[in-house]
Amino acid sequence: MFHLDPSIEHPERIVIEMLARNYASPGSSGSGYDLLRVLENNVAKSLQVRRIDIEAVKNLEGYYNSLGYEKTGENYYDSSWKEIVNMTKRV
């Protein structure tokens, strides 16, 4: 699941508020990765977006680092998701 929120105030970026794996769906392995690649390679270019921001759960910070995202700003706590890390990638 994800929420894509292009901002009128910041049209140069796309914010992905939550991207999570659906463990209840047997065929969901890799679908988040595929979704990010389509967003980075197709959607961002079509919209002339220069940056993608993502809110990642703390334990996935290393995974997003491996995809080229870097930590930005302060972490915050969400009662459902626990510790959240703000990350960004230039595209």
Q: What is the DSSP string of 4-27?
A: B---SS-TTEEEE------TTSTT
Q: pLDDT for 36-91, tens place per residue?
A: 888 889 888 888 888 888 888 898 899 999 999 999 988 889 888 789 999 999 98
| Spatial distance between the Cα atoms of 22 and 6, rounded to a whole number of angstroms | 24
* Between 11 and 7, residue with greater pLDDT: 11
pLDDT at 1: 43
Q: Judge if pTM exceeds 0.85.
A: no
The reported pLDDT for the residue numbered 27 is: 61
Give the bridge partners for 88, in sequence order.
53, 70
Selected residue with higher pLDDT from 25 and 54: 54
